Amino acid sequence: MPFNDGRETMKTTESSGLPHGSLLSTGDLARACKTTVRTVRFYEEEGLIKPLLRSEGGHRLYGPAQASRLALIIELREAGMSLHEIKELLELKRSSSTPSDASERLSAMLERQIADVGAKVEMLQRLLEELMKTMSIIKECKPCQRGAFPNCCSECAVMQRKDLPRAMKLIWG
- The structural domains of the chain, ordered by start, are 1-81 (1.10.1660.10)
Lowest mean pLDDT among 12-26, 50-64, 118-132: 12-26
3-class DSSP state for residue 165?
coil
Mean pLDDT value across residues 149-173? 87
User: For residue 21, what pLDDT band results from cuts at 50, 70 and 90?
Assistant: low
Give the closest residue to 109 by CA, choosing from 130, 81, 89.
89
d(CA 66, CA 33): 10
CB atoms within 10 A of CB 32: 24
pLDDT score for 153? 84
Tell whether the torsion through CA atoms of 4, 2, 42 and 37 is positive or negative: positive
Q: Give tens-digit pLDDT for 121-151.
A: 999 999 999 999 999 999 988 888 887 788 8
User: For residue 109, what pLDDT band results from cuts at 50, 70 and 90?
Assistant: very high
